[in-house]
Amino acid sequence: MLRSEIYKTLSGCINGIESCREHSPYDRFYNRSDDSLRFTFHVRASNNRAISQGRECASADEREIVIGVVKRYAPIAQIMDCTN
């Protein structure tokens, strides 16, 4: 549902995940954008820096459904280290 920048270290990745967990439940940290046929969103931190980007949606309604899922589940998502 979300993607982010590529991290150079595992600790940087964990910090990014924790920031997303912290900010994702609150609507004020979501920036929504529409351009003709694309409906996207970003989750932003308190300093207004993008933490993650949501997937492209076909409509504004679909985007709101995806945001609702992220708000509900991102704070409790388990971390899986797939680097090994």
Which residue segments constitute the domains of the chain, with CATH numbers given? 2-76 (2.30.29.80)
pTM above 0.75, yes or no: yes
Which pLDDT band holds residue 26 (cuts at 50, 70, 90)?
A: very high
What tokens appear for 62 in the block?
């679909």
- Virtual torsion, Cα 1, 30, 4, 79, nearest 10 deg: -60
What tokens appear for 63 in the block?
């985007």
CA distance 74 to 84: 23
Average pLDDT over residues 21-42: 93
CA distance 20 to 74: 7
CA distance 16 to 2: 12
Q: So what's the pLDDT on residue 56?
A: 92
If one compares 31 and 77, the residue with the highest pLDDT of the two is 31
